[in-house]
Chains A and B, each alone.
Chain A
Amino acid sequence: MNEASLIGLCAATVSFGALLYLAALGEMVSEKAGILNLGVEGMMAMGAVTGFMTALEFGNPWLALAVAVMAGALTALLHGWFTVVLGAEQVVSGLSLTILGLGLAAYLGKNAVGRPPGAVLAPVDWPLLSDIRWLGPVLFQQSPMVYLSVLAGVVVWFVLSRTRTGLALRAAGESASTADAAGHSVVGLRLTAVAVGGGLAGASGAYLTLSLTPQWAEGITAGRGWIAVALVIFGAWKPGRVALGALLFGGTLALKTRLQTFGVEFSPILLSMLPYLLTIGVLVVISVRARNRPSPAPASLGIAYRREER
């Protein structure tokens, strides 16, 4: 292992971390409002394909990103319609959304398979900073999506914990009847959160096809949506901890393709289990601690809300 490959590993860790972070942040917003959306994988796929195809058609990567965000949000709103408005079972609807999103993306993108990208989000070369030894290539020669994911994390943290809207949104996830009694629209808050979550998942998908691996192929999301779902639990529904988890899990993704080149005799298949094993470990810690303090999970997560008429 030489210095260049180590720097490559660190840079890839940050890239993959940002990819996971965008999707996990979206899932976290949705869950904070009480809606579990297991359709992340499907929403990512929709963002990935619509972003790639918009780039093919119009050649503008930023327009492509905007379309991907919209596509993710619209896909998520389908889940929102079923679970928030109609009160359907969230697990079933979310799983269906994954299957639907993956299938629809494959269908929409069948003519784009193997084509060169119409446009890419080129890495940002920060003046001066990018020349710093080590830090430069790892942190300051990344895709704009990496910096956008950091910005998104800060915005989400600020809105959730420092604004009244965030307080209301969290109340909808903790105790929907309380939020309702306080005069907030639980349906409105939850739909907004679900749409924001879908938008971020769509952005994560676009990061894949516009920057990280600029091409379209069926199954390009490769289960990363599921890692994002696990990451929310791993990060205990806190933006900062989710970011740390994203780097850790991103590291396993980066390492997976490099194990062989490093000459390490360790199965990459076992490595890809690591995020899930760590998440189970965190779940155990949470439930052990739950004996004397409330769980960090939103208390109304997964529970449909209907105003009672006795």
Chain B
Amino acid sequence: MIESETPPTMAAVELSGIWKRFPGVVANAGANLSISRGSIHAVLGENGAGKSTLMNVLAGVYRPDEGEVRVEGVAHRFRTPADALAAGIGMVHQEFRLVPSFTVAENVVLGAAAGILRRQAIEDEVADLAEQFGLATRPDRPVWQLSMGERQRVEILKALWRDAHILILDEPTAVLTPAEADELGVVLRAMADAGRSVIFISHKLHEVTGFCDEATVLRGGRTVAASVRVADTDAGELASLMVGSSPMTTERPPAHPAGPPLLEVSGLSALGDRGLPALESVDLTVRSGEIVGIAGVAGNGQRELCQVVAGLRQSTAGTVHLAGDDLTGASPRRLFQAGLGYIPEDRLGVGLAPRLSVVDNSILRTYEAHRRGPFIVAEKAEAHCVDLVERFGVRTGPLHEPMAGLSGGNLQRLLVGRELSGRPRVVVAAQPTRGLDVQGVKAIQDLLVEAREAGAAVLLISEDLDELLTLADRLVVMHDGQIIGEFDPTTASRSEIGEAMIGHDAGVGS
């Protein structure tokens, strides 16, 4: 074996200097990625790191503003996903692109050119292909009858049938059971051994170290580590690369001696939208005068926890106590009356009604207090609205115009004001500052701290670790529907928390 004679290995995929801007967001800021043939390559990064955007650029869904895409050494400018497919790039999206009423075989051959459709022939063809790569499937079954794992195999078959040599999987294990995830690992290895390249987007480090060969880490739209050999690194190093180490920006508000427990959650379990367990026996206590922060990668049960506490999702086990009263399964109105303020993640979908006026929105929770018989007393409602607007510094146009005209920050101020004006005993705030400008963030954070000073128990869910470290008196980390660690924000390191967030080495510090 003479090494000098082997030709320089050409990368299967080479992305260099990719920039992609969306209105108000730079998703990719000069990202690079190089994939060698026949390997499983992990692309890692936190939410918003630009992973999905970069993959969508490679798959022809987005056109990059700048940068070069090379496949097998040839530069390409993909205009559509079909262009990328023609170059051998297939993508399995997180949201499956399948027609539920079609059979497996029909879904697989959907991309084919015109002609007669012979049912038996395509079913046999798909069965052969599936067997070749060890993908168990039933070609004649309609997709709506299949489990999530089976549907994913159909997606992979679609790409293989189109002869994709580079297969992109966007967080493929998010919808799978652990056993299904292991099976997927075996299938991907078989594909890599057959000379195809697999790009595996994930933030589950044990899967990356388990079955990937190389890893590229993105942060803030840039590549911070390119093609690291997984064998040469460890989960801890990758975790700290993902989370980074930006310095804290805001001063911590002074600590406050915590009072009696106001929100007590014990053994709480619930199912997610897809009917899979999303919360598994969560125990959590928030005391009067403290902010408890929940950190975690999105989709690990934070949303479901908020919804159960706010009465918007049914629990399957466990209890929720508010100031000592068992309010498990109580209606949102009952919970509001018991002193719960809820700042939902989806502020325009759940929190406010965008087409109603500012006045109407401000009394949505308390219209009972502004009525005479069946009628709303306009003066009372308006007075309440004016009071909210002044107290919480909402900048608004005419009060009887639709809410939707307000800026994001002012929408959120009104929502937070409405929820906090009744002096709630418990506040649940989900992503309260997401998408706001610096001023808006500061205003909302101040309001939450104010609520804490007034003796409320505040549960704060955020994807912004800096925000949690700044505001929270205690910090718990959720992963896979469970609370897997608790930290003291004054002493815990970001990398410790980061590792817990990706389900690795649960630190039970503090």
Q: Which of B62, B80, B93 contacts A309 (CB 8 A)?
A: B62
* Total number of B residues with any Cβ neighbor in A under 8 Å: 26
Please state if B98 and A175 are interface contacts (CB–CB under 8 Å): yes
Q: Which residues of A contact B116 (CB under 8 A)?
A: 162-164
A294 within 8 A of B: yes
Please state if B100 and A294 are interface contacts (CB–CB under 8 Å): yes
Q: Which of B97, B101, B106 contacts A294 (CB 8 A)?
A: B101
Which residues of A come within 8 Å of B, CB atoms? 161-168, 170-171, 174-175, 177-184, 293-294, 299, 309-310
Please state if A171 and B115 are interface contacts (CB–CB under 8 Å): no
**How far, in whole Å, are A270 and B229 apart by their CA atoms in the complex?**
78
Q: Which residues of B contact A183 (CB under 8 A)?
A: 80-82, 85, 111
Q: Which of B85, B99, B107, B117 contacts A164 (CB 8 A)?
A: B117
Please state if A174 and B144 are interface contacts (CB–CB under 8 Å): no
Q: Nearest Cβ in chain B — how far from A156, in angstroms?
A: 15
Q: Which residues of A contact B111 (CB under 8 A)?
A: 182-184
Q: Which of B62, B81, B99, B144 contacts A171 (CB 8 A)?
A: B99
Which B residue sits closest to A181, measured CB to CB?
B97
Q: Which residues of B contact A174 (CB under 8 A)?
A: 99-102
Q: Which residues of A contact B81 (CB under 8 A)?
A: 180-181, 183
**How far, in whole Å, are A163 and B116 apart by their CA atoms in the complex?**
4
Asked if A168 meets B99 with Cβ closer than 8 Å, knowing A163-B116, A181-B81, the reply is no
Q: Which residues of B contact A166 (CB under 8 A)?
A: 117
B110 within 8 A of A: yes
Contact with A along B454-474 (1 / 0, CB 8 A): 000000000000000000000
Q: Which 4 A-B pairs have the closest CB atoms?
A: A183-B82, A182-B111, A178-B97, A182-B110
Please state if A165 and B102 are interface contacts (CB–CB under 8 Å): no
Q: Which of B99, B115, B116 has the most CB of A within 10 A?
A: B99
**How far, in whole Å, are A190 and B102 apart by their CA atoms in the complex?**
19
Q: Which residues of A contact B109 (CB under 8 A)?
A: 164, 167
Please state if A167 and B117 are interface contacts (CB–CB under 8 Å): yes
**How far, in whole Å, are A183 and B82 apart by their CA atoms in the complex?**
5
Which A residue sits closest to B96, measured CB to CB?
A178
Q: Which residues of B contact A163 (CB under 8 A)?
A: 114-117
Q: Nearest Cβ in chain A — how far from B396, in angstroms?
A: 28
Please state if B97 and A167 are interface contacts (CB–CB under 8 Å): no
Please state if A168 and B110 are interface contacts (CB–CB under 8 Å): yes
Q: Nearest Cβ in chain A — how far from B63, in angstroms?
A: 10
Q: Which residues of A contact B112 (CB under 8 A)?
A: 164
Q: Which residues of B contact A182 (CB under 8 A)?
A: 97, 110-111, 158
Q: Nearest Cβ in chain A — how far from B140, in angstroms?
A: 15
Q: Which residues of B contact A310 (CB under 8 A)?
A: 22, 62
Which B residue sits closest to A179, measured CB to CB?
B110
- A166-B117, A299-B100 given; name 14 further pairs at CB < 8 Å: A163-B115, A164-B112, A171-B110, A174-B101, A175-B99, A179-B110, A181-B81, A181-B93, A181-B97, A182-B97, A183-B80, A183-B111, A299-B99, A309-B62
B179 within 8 A of A: no
Please state if B100 and A165 are interface contacts (CB–CB under 8 Å): no
Which residues of chain B from 69 to 105 have any CB-CB distance to chain A below 8 Å in the complex?
80-82, 85, 93, 97-102
B438 within 8 A of A: no
Please state if B115 and A167 are interface contacts (CB–CB under 8 Å): no
Contact with A along B269-306 (1 / 0, CB 8 A): 00000000000000000000000000000000000000
**How far, in whole Å, are A170 and B85 apart by their CA atoms in the complex?**
22
Q: Which residues of B contact A309 (CB under 8 A)?
A: 22, 62
Q: Nearest Cβ in chain A — how far from B105, in angstroms?
A: 10
Q: Which residues of B contact A170 (CB under 8 A)?
A: 99, 102
Q: Which residues of B contact A181 (CB under 8 A)?
A: 81, 93, 97
Asked if A171 meets B22 with Cβ closer than 8 Å, knowing A163-B115, A164-B115, A165-B114, the reply is no
**How far, in whole Å, are A43 and B253 apart by their CA atoms in the complex?**
69
Q: Nearest Cβ in chain A — how far from B109, in angstroms?
A: 7
Which A residue sits closest to B81, measured CB to CB?
A181
B2 within 8 A of A: no
B113 within 8 A of A: yes
**How far, in whole Å, are A162 and B117 apart by their CA atoms in the complex?**
5
Q: Which residues of A contact B93 (CB under 8 A)?
A: 181
**How far, in whole Å, are A293 and B100 apart by their CA atoms in the complex?**
11
Q: Which of A162, A178, A293 contacts B99 (CB 8 A)?
A: A178
Which B residue sits closest to A178, measured CB to CB?
B97
Please state if A167 and B110 are interface contacts (CB–CB under 8 Å): yes
Q: Nearest Cβ in chain B — how far from A190, in angstroms?
A: 15
**How far, in whole Å, are A168 and B85 apart by their CA atoms in the complex?**
17
Which A residue sits closest to B93, measured CB to CB?
A181
Q: Nearest Cβ in chain B — how far from A253, in angstroms?
A: 32
**How far, in whole Å, are A34 and B494 apart by their CA atoms in the complex?**
50
Q: Which of B81, B82, B101 has the most CB of A within 10 A?
A: B101
Q: Nearest Cβ in chain B — how far from A295, in angstroms?
A: 9
